[in-house]
């Protein structure tokens, strides 16, 4: 509230004087020549200093008119050909509500007993409530689903205009909205009762018909979709990233790093190999965890033992500093082991680089929710844990990749692997997950702010 209060205080108001219409008659032009009587000077743009200073009053006036507009898209289907939502944009306050209208139809568990079995088992004293919804459970699902989706998908990134003097932003507020009328819904959603305490991995959404956006699509959700799955696939996500780094380390031949006798200076060949490995390490998928690197320093048995222990430490520190200087994002542990091997053994004058295998057994970042993942499809986003190259899913993946490229944000480093991305097996909403919202915003603001002038940050 305080932000918006200060924001509106910054808006300039016109002078209160009743002489205002007359005083404008005597303003001078930039050249110092008074304007003719009856020709008012162009007013100072109202929002200069808030959204940037325009080169001309005319552009400032157009920008000011844009700032006061309310823009709306109804039943928008992204160019990925699936997903459907409404979008609004209020430039003055920088908010972009995105709503998915859902008609919930609650049904019994998939394995619910039939009427005859219900009577028989009830007479036998069995509690069958786990198969059927109660009113309180329906209310809990509505509350939990809407709350979780809004919290996960809203305001994760900001869309900003790069157009000079049009310094607008849009903060997406993503909200599922329950409606009573199926015709008004974007998704007619069947919500199945979950009979057990576990997670049902059965949810799905259908694609809307781009030729008939007035027709709602359908979705199947489960009561368990609002439950968290702690550490869901965390181990496999970490293992995949570790294996990628190990492959890069081997491909670059960056380990071991060999040193000259009694030296902690990295040789040119080793510097080239370490540079190649660092380049691969920096290409980490933003949605993957940072796997710790281990740098172990050694020395040969030649000379004084205390000196060699210090030399091993300095060699390890030199490699660590070199990698860190190249921007390697992974944490790097350093350990000096002192002299090893035999006297004169050149192979002992080295540093070994390895990946921490224990990390994936302790990594517990993901608290996955099926409902949050499935909602991404309603925004027009494909699964990233699959690599679809043919058919409808392949075409949608291709369209999505093109949209990601157009938006200028990183796409999945590799399709078909587990990552911590929300559209894979994790919870991270990444810049690429806002590309359909970016597209919708550009549709609303063009031609004043073109699609290409919006950035996702």
Question: What are the backbone angles phi and psi of residue 97, rounded to the nearest 5°?
Answer: -65, 135
Rounded Cα–Cα distance for residues 229 and 23 (Å): 69
- 233-364 under CATH 3.40.50.720, yes or no: no
Ordered by start, the domain boundaries in the chain are 73-228+432-456, 233-364
Cis status of the peptide bond prior to 447, with omega within 30 of 0: yes
CA 268 vs CA 256, 271, 293, 366: distances in Å: 14, 5, 22, 41
Give the pLDDT of residue 158.
97
Rounded Cα–Cα distance for residues 416 and 411 (Å): 13
Rounded Cα–Cα distance for residues 17 and 166 (Å): 30
Let me know: does 455 contact 408? Beta carbons within 8 Å: yes
pLDDT classification of 24: cutoffs 50, 70, 90: very low
Nearest to 169 by CA among 367, 313, 7, 43: 7
**What token pair was written down for 140?**
């809990």
Let me know: does 162 contact 455? Beta carbons within 8 Å: yes
R_g of the chain, CA atoms, integer Å? 30
Span 349-397, pLDDT tens digits? 999 999 999 998 888 777 788 999 999 999 999 999 899 888 999 999 9
Span 11-23, pLDDT tens digits? 444 443 333 332 3
Torsion of CA 47, 53, 55, 59, to 10 degrees: -30
Rounded Cα–Cα distance for residues 300 and 397 (Å): 54
Q: What percent of the chain has pLDDT over 90?
A: 70
Please give the helix or strand (H or E) that residue 280 lies within, else none. helix 268-282
């Amino acid at each position: 509230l305080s932000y918006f209060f200060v924001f509106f205080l910054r808006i300039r108001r016109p002078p209160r004087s009743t002489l205002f219409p007359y005083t404008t008659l005597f303003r001078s032009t930039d050249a110092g020549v008074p304007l003719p009587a009856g020709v008012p000077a162009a007013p100072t743009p109202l929002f200069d200093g808030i959204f940037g200073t325009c080169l001309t009053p005319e552009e400032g006036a157009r920008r000011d008119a844009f700032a006061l507009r309310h823009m709306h898209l109804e039943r928008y289907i992204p160019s990925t050909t699936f997903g459907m939502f409404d979008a609004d944009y209020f430039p003055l306050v920088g908010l972009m509500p995105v709503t998915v209208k859902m008609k919930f139809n609650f049904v019994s568990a998939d394995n619910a007993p039939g009427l005859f079995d219900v009577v028989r088992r009830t007479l036998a004293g069995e509690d069958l409530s786990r198969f059927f919804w109660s009113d309180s459970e329906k209310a809990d699902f509505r509350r939990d689903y809407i709350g979780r989706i809004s919290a996960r998908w809203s305001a994760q990134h900001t869309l900003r205009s790069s157009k000079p003097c049009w310094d607008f932003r849009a903060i997406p507020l993503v909200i599922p909205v329950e409606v009573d009328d199926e015709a008004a819904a974007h998704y007619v959603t069947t919500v199945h009762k979950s009979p057990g305490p576990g997670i049902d991995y059965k949810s799905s959404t259908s694609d809307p018909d781009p030729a008939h956006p007035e027709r709602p699509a359908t979705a199947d959700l489960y009561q368990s979709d609002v439950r968290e799955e702690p550490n869901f696939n965390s181990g496999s996500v970490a293992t995949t990233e570790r294996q990628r780094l190990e492959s890069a380390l081997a491909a670059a031949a960056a380990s071991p790093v060999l040193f000259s006798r009694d030296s902690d200076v990295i040789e040119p060949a080793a510097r080239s190999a370490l540079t190649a490995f660092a380049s691969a390490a920096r290409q980490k998928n933003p949605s993957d965890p940072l796997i710790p690197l281990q740098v172990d320093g050694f020395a040969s048995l030649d000379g004084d033992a205390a000196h060699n222990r210090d030399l091993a430490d300095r060699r390890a520190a030199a490699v660590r500093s070199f990698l860190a200087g190249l921007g390697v994002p992974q944490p790097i542990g350093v350990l000096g082991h002192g002299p090893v091997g035999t006297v004169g053994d050149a192979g002992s004058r080295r540093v070994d680089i390895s990946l921490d295998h224990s990390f994936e057994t302790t990594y517990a970042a993901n608290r996955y929710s099926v409902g949050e993942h499935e909602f991404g499809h309603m925004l027009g986003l494909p699964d990233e844990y699959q690599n679809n190259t043919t058919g409808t899913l392949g075409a949608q993946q291709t369209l999505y990749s093109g949209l990601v490229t157009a938006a200028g944000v990183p796409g999945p480093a590799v399709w078909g692997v587990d990552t911590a991305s929300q559209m894979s097996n994790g919870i991270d909403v990444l810049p690429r997950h806002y590309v359909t919202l970016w597209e919708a915003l550009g549709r609303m603001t063009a031609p004043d702010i073109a699609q290409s002038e919006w950035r996702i940050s």
